[in-house]
Amino acid sequence: MKPPAQALERLRRIVGPKGWSTDKEANAPYLEDWRRLHHGDTAMLLRPKSTDEVRRIMRCAAEFQISIVPQGGNTGLVGGGIPDKSGDQILLSLDRLKGIRDINPLNYTMTVNAGTTLKDVQDHALDHDRFFPLSIGSEGSAQIGGTISTNAGGISVLKYGNMRDLVLGLEVVLPDGTIWNGLNSLRKNNTGYDLKQLFIGAEGTLGIITAATLKLFPAPRKRQTALAAVPSSQAAVELLSLARGASGDLITSFELIPRFAFELVFKHVPATTDPLVQSYPWYVLFEVSSSQESADLRSFCETLLTDGLERQLVLDGTIATSDWQAENLWRMRHAISEAERAEGTSIKHDISVPISSIAAFIEEASAVTLKKCPDLRVVAFGHIGDGNIHFNLQQPEDDDGSFKSLWGEMNTIVHDIVIKHHGSISAEHGIGTLKRDILAQIQPENTQIMKQIKSLFDPSTILNPGKLVD
């Protein structure tokens, strides 16, 4: 049912003339996801600039039973922030609700509004000689509220954890317009249920996050980036074990990259060149960091590569000698998704398995999917330090458009192998609408409990309906 004119007028008054739009051309960027898989329509785009405006919007929505779809930076990959195609839902973007509320260097905490970009949080922390470690390719546009709602991961999870580990407190507007103020900055608070955890990873289905108190860390004084060519994904896993045993907590990131992923980057992303003279089947891009100026990180990387060569885990390698070289190596890693999109259709799987099972999973999933479609190209890369592999299937070079028809079948094949290896079908991207029905099939008990929680918080199902749970 379309929102009545009376409700739309009230919503316009709440956000003021700069806070709403019904212009289809202006709203278009908000109505398509980054992968261009999900498209929607909206009766009105709202862009509130305060928690109070979000509160009043939800009170109006509750009164008139209007569906509200919250959206952060629209960098999601599973359709969680896109309204349906009915045109009846209201899209609520938090891109005007930004800014730093407070930073406490002694407590190593920062409180920020949900619309603040991840990059702004990182920069503000560094301005105070502190460090916020979450790092993802879209950090220039991804917003804090969205990264919390999807429990984002990224390249530094190995050392610092994902977003669930980096949040101390939240401010949330509930579906009835109530503000839950859980913005505490305590490390230890043993007073019953940890309510904030209900909203982290809930994809905006239980409440709209409007602010968060985040953990900060000592700013790294030294960093060192290196690239190792390895003979196999199993060698990469063993090299990770060797590195962790030798370094303690120095390892910040440890990324697995196949040769084909680099070839796509060289083909589609300007100013990228092969970092090694010879090509190899697999690579590991890793970073070590320390808050101590005296740390000799280059010597550690040299020793690791030498030990890896002696154990036949490493074939070749290079160590960045400048910040520019390090940034160039990481740019190639972050550009893989961009290059995949430029190459054509890619059936993506954001999965996790135990680290010890990574090589077996990649080998089995590659063999079975290639048997189904011999000409597809496997792009298996990602954060092997936490078991998160982006197992993507690139369309054949001569695809006539039929590869897309294999989407559902390939998902079933890959997810069955994930379950066989005791893994998860979503490691860091969330569920949204893309994986909602798959989740219900493979985890019916969990899905039923989530539905009960949803009905408790949102009995009228007005907040991001159809996402995460049906």
State pLDDT tens for residues 113-140: 999 999 999 999 999 999 999 999 899 9
Average the pLDDT over 14-40 and give the result: 93
pLDDT range class, residue 427, cuts 50, 70, 90? very high
pLDDT range class, residue 334, cuts 50, 70, 90? very high
What pLDDT sits at residue 9? Answer: 97
Average the pLDDT over 215-228 and give the result: 96
- The strand pair at 109-113 and 179-182 is best described as unpaired
Looking at the fold, whether 213 and 250 belong to one and the same domain comes out as: no
Looking at the fold, whether 104 and 175 belong to one and the same domain comes out as: yes
What pLDDT sits at residue 305? Answer: 97
Average the pLDDT over 364-379 and give the result: 97
Residue 467 included in any domain: no
Mean pLDDT of all residues in the chain?
95
- Of 404 and 77, the one with more pLDDT: 404
The secondary structure of the chain, three-state, reads CCCCHHHHHHHHHHHCCCCEECCHHHHHHHHECCCCCCECCCCEEECCCCHHHHHHHHHHHHHHCCCEEEECCCCCCCCCCCCCCCCCCEEEECCCCCCEEEEECCCCEEEEECCCEHHHHHHHHHHCCEECCCCCCCCCCCEHHHHHHCCCCCCCHHHHCCHHHHEEEEEEECCCCCEEEECCCCCCCCCCCCCHHHHCCCCCCCCEEEEEEEECEECCCEEEEEEEEECCHHHHHHHHHHHHHHHCCCEEEEEEEEHHHHHHHHHHCCCCCCCCCCCCCEEEEEEEEECCCCCCHHHHHHHHHHHHHHCCCCCEEEECCCHHHHHHHHHHHHCHHHHHHHHCCEECCEEECCHHHHHHHHHHHHHHHHHHCCCCEEEEEEEHHHCEEEEEEECCCCCCCHHHHHHHHHHHHHHHHHHHCCCECCCCCCCCCCCHHHHHHHCHHHHHHHHHHHHHHCCCCCECCCCCCC
Looking at the fold, whether 48 and 119 belong to one and the same domain comes out as: no
Average the pLDDT over 305-320 and give the result: 97
Length of the chain: 470
pLDDT at 35 over 90: no
pLDDT at 408 over 90: yes
Token reading at 5: 């004119």
- The strand pair at 208-215 and 109-113 is best described as antiparallel
Average the pLDDT over 260-267 and give the result: 97
pLDDT at 248 over 80: no
Q: What percent of the chain has pLDDT over 70?
A: 100
Residue 388 included in any domain: yes
What pLDDT sits at residue 440? Answer: 94
CATH number at residue 420: 3.30.70.2740
Residue 303 included in any domain: yes
pLDDT range class, residue 249, cuts 50, 70, 90? confident
Integer distance in angstroms from the first to the last C-alpha of the chain? 18
- Of 35 and 438, the one with more pLDDT: 438
Residue 463 included in any domain: no
Looking at the fold, whether 39 and 109 belong to one and the same domain comes out as: no
Looking at the fold, whether 214 and 233 belong to one and the same domain comes out as: no
Of 193, 218, 243, the residue at which a domain comes to its end is 218
Beta-bridge mates of residue 143: 117
Residue 154 included in any domain: yes
Of 308, 337, 366, the residue at which a domain comes to its end is 337
Q: How many domains does the chain have?
A: 4
Residue 458 included in any domain: no
Looking at the fold, whether 108 and 210 belong to one and the same domain comes out as: yes
Average the pLDDT over 379-390 and give the result: 95
Looking at the fold, whether 104 and 212 belong to one and the same domain comes out as: yes
Distance CA(463)–CA(458), nearest Å, equals 7
What's the domain range around 62?
5-96
Of 197, 218, 239, the residue at which a domain comes to its end is 218
Beta-carbon count within 10 A of 156 CB: 23
pLDDT at 3 over 90: yes
What pLDDT sits at residue 328? Answer: 94
pLDDT at 310 over 90: yes
- Of 93 and 295, the one with more pLDDT: 93
| Residue (of 311, 308, 257) closest to 284 by Cα position | 257
Burial code (b: 16+ CB inside 10 Å, e: under 16) for 394-404 equals bbbeeeeeebe
Looking at the fold, whether 133 and 180 belong to one and the same domain comes out as: yes
CATH number at residue 257: 3.30.70.2190
Average the pLDDT over 21-46 and give the result: 93
What pLDDT sits at residue 12? Answer: 98
Residue 462 included in any domain: no
Distance CA(228)–CA(305), nearest Å, equals 7
What pLDDT sits at residue 397? Answer: 95
Q: What percent of the chain has pLDDT over 90?
A: 93
* Contact residues for 178 (Cβ-Cβ < 8 A; gap 6+): 55
pLDDT range class, residue 274, cuts 50, 70, 90? very high
Average the pLDDT over 157-180 and give the result: 96
| Residue (of 101, 111, 95, 116) closest to 48 by Cα position | 95
Residue 449 included in any domain: no
Looking at the fold, whether 114 and 82 belong to one and the same domain comes out as: no
91, 27 Cβ separation under 8 angstroms: yes
Looking at the fold, whether 228 and 331 belong to one and the same domain comes out as: yes
CATH number at residue 122: 3.30.465.10
Looking at the fold, whether 81 and 50 belong to one and the same domain comes out as: yes
| Residue (of 411, 399, 414, 413) closest to 344 by Cα position | 399
Token reading at 454: 């949803």
Average the pLDDT over 200-204 and give the result: 97
Looking at the fold, whether 44 and 28 belong to one and the same domain comes out as: yes
Average the pLDDT over 20-33 and give the result: 95
